[in-house]
Amino acid sequence: MNNFRSSLDAYPLPYIRGDASFSREFTVQEWLSVIRNPTCRKVWDVRFEDAQVLKVLNNNETIAYSTQKGTFPVAARDFVTKTSLIKENTGYYYLVYSVNPDEFADLTNVPKEGYLGRVRGDLKIACWVLIDKGSSIDISYIVGVDVKGNIPSTIIKSVQAQTPQCINKVEEYLKNKGPPCFVFREDLGKGISSLTENLQENTLTIKFLYESDSKEPSNSKRTGLRISIPKQNFKNGANIGLNLEEKNGYKIFGKVEEPQEFLEVGKSCYKVFFLEFYKNTDKKEEMSVRHLADDDGDDEDSDYEEDEGAVIRTEIEDVNDNTKKLGEVVEKINVTVVVQPNKDGWILNGKHLK
C-alpha cells in the first residue's frame, strides 16, 4: 500500500491518496459492489454513518445525502453530494463530490445545515480508480475534503492514516463476507433508466424506470437485466420468486442462469438471475411462454414441489394509464425487484428446483 499526501494543504485535512494492486480474485464489478453500497461501507469505513439517495439522475449518477460520525470533541459531519460511475476502457472511476442542493429545484428532502448538530462539510473529491490489468487489479483512492471548523491534530493524523487503508478494508470485506448481489450494469436492456440498488443485510432492492419509445410493434419489445447471485452469501440457495404480473399489457418472467464469460464474472458469482419483460399482444406468442427454469423445455409441474415464500418479486406500477398510439407517447413503468437468500435450496416462483 502506497500512501500519498498532497503538499497543497489548503484545508485542515490535506488531500490523501492510497494505491494498491491485488490479484484478480475479485472482479472490478465485485469491488464496486462493496465500494458503492452504503451498507457495506459501514463495515469498511469506520467513520461512515449512513447515506440515502435524494435524486436519481440516470443509471450511473445520483444526488445523495451522507453522514459521518463525530469524534469527541468534533461534531458529526454531513454532505450533499453527486455520485458518478464512469467506465473507460478496462477501468472504472467512481467519483463523489459536494454540490449545492439549491441548484436542484426538485430537491425538497434535503436536511438543513445544522440538522441534529451536524456540520455541513465540503467534499472536494472522493475518487476510486479501478483498473483491470488482466492478471491484477490496480486501485487508487483519493480524498480531498474541507470538513469546516477546527480539527485537533490527533484526529487529523488518525484520518490521514485510516483513509488510504480503506482499500485494504474493502478487500477484507470481500474475503470475509463476499460481494453482495448486484446488477450487471454493462448488460442493461434498452429503456432501463434511473436504476438504484439498496442492500439491507443480505436483501437487495433494485428499482428502475422502464421507458418505451413506442417506435416498434409492442409485441417485439423485450428488455431486461441480469443480477449476480454470489456464492458465499447464497451457498444454501435463494428464493427466486417471480410474479408474472401484467400491467397495461406487459409480461415479466425470469430464470436462473450459469455465469457467462461475457459478463466478466468472478469466482464468487454462483448463479445469475435473468429478469426480462416485454409487451405482448399476440395471443399465440403469449401461449408459448413457459417456465424458463425447465432446462428440457417441459412445462409439466412434475419437476416442482410447491413451496410458499418466493422472495425475488417484481412490482410494476404503470405511470401512464392512457391509451397510446405507436410512435407518439413514451410509456413509463416503475419496477421494483427484491432479492433474498434462502436456507432450503433454490426456489423459483414458489417452487423448489430439483
Q: Which three-class secondary structure string do you get for 85-143? A: EEEECCEEEEEEEECCHHHCCCCCCCCCCCHHHCEECEEEEEEEEEEECCCEEEEEEEE
**pLDDT confidence tier of residue 237, bands split at 50, 70 and 90:** confident
Taking the C-alpha atoms of residue 259 and residue 30, their distance in angstroms, rounded to an integer, is: 14
Checking if the pLDDT of 34 tops 70, the result is: yes
247-251, 320-324, 330-334: which range is least confident on average? 320-324
Taking the C-alpha atoms of residue 60 and residue 73, their distance in angstroms, rounded to an integer, is: 37
- Hey, which residues does 192 pair with through a beta bridge? 210
And the C-alpha cell for 53? Answer: 439517495
The proportion of the chain whose per-residue pLDDT surpasses 90, expressed as a percent, equals 39
Q: Residue 1 has what pLDDT?
A: 59
Helices 28-35/166-177 angle, 10° precision: 110
Taking the C-alpha atoms of residue 204 and residue 332, their distance in angstroms, rounded to an integer, is: 23
- Of the segments 277-291, 299-313, 331-345, which one has the largest average pLDDT value? 331-345
Q: Residue 8 has what pLDDT?
A: 40
* Contact predicate 223/208, CB 8 Å: no
80-84, 149-153, 189-193, 218-222: which range is least confident on average? 218-222
20-29, 156-165, 246-255, 296-305: which range is least confident on average? 296-305
* Contact predicate 227/183, CB 8 Å: yes
Query: Which residues are within 8 A (CB) of 102 and not within 5 positions of it... i.e. 6 or more apart?
Result: none
**pLDDT confidence tier of residue 325, bands split at 50, 70 and 90:** very low
Using DSSP bridges, classify how beta strands 192-200 and 203-212 pair: parallel, antiparallel or unpaired: antiparallel
Taking the C-alpha atoms of residue 69 and residue 118, their distance in angstroms, rounded to an integer, is: 9
Q: Residue 139 has what pLDDT?
A: 97
Across the range 3-18, mean pLDDT stands at 61
What is the DSSP track for 67-88?
Answer: EE--BTTBPPEEEEEEEEEEEE
Taking the C-alpha atoms of residue 354 and residue 347, their distance in angstroms, rounded to an integer, is: 9
pLDDT in tens, 242-293: 554 455 666 667 777 888 777 777 778 888 888 887 776 554 333 233 332 3
Average pLDDT, the chain: 78
Q: Residue 244 has what pLDDT?
A: 43
Q: What is the pTM of this model?
A: 0.80
- Hey, which residues does 2 pair with through a beta bridge? 19
**pLDDT confidence tier of residue 155, bands split at 50, 70 and 90:** confident
Across the range 299-319, mean pLDDT stands at 39
Taking the C-alpha atoms of residue 182 and residue 158, their distance in angstroms, rounded to an integer, is: 33
Taking the C-alpha atoms of residue 312 and residue 123, their distance in angstroms, rounded to an integer, is: 37
- Of 109, 80, 117, 111, nearest in space to 97 by CA: 80
pLDDT in tens, 161-190: 888 999 999 999 999 999 999 999 888 888
Q: Residue 158 has what pLDDT?
A: 85
**How far are the Cα atoms of 3, 12, 179, 271, 283 from residue 136, in angstroms, in the given order?**
19, 35, 18, 24, 51
Q: Residue 294 has what pLDDT?
A: 34
Q: Residue 96 has what pLDDT?
A: 97
And the C-alpha cell for 59? Answer: 443509471
Question: Where, residue-wise, is CATH 3.30.530.20 in the chain?
Answer: 2-177
**pLDDT confidence tier of residue 219, bands split at 50, 70 and 90:** very low
Q: Which residue has the higher pLDDT, 324 or 11?
A: 11
Checking if the pLDDT of 318 tops 50, the result is: no
Which of the listed CATH numbers 3.40.960.10, 3.30.530.20, 3.30.1330.60, 3.40.50.10860 matches domain 2-177?
3.30.530.20
Q: Residue 320 has what pLDDT?
A: 47
pLDDT in tens, 57-103: 999 999 999 999 988 888 999 999 999 999 988 899 999 999 999 99
And the C-alpha cell for 305? Answer: 414441489
Checking if the pLDDT of 137 tops 70, the result is: yes
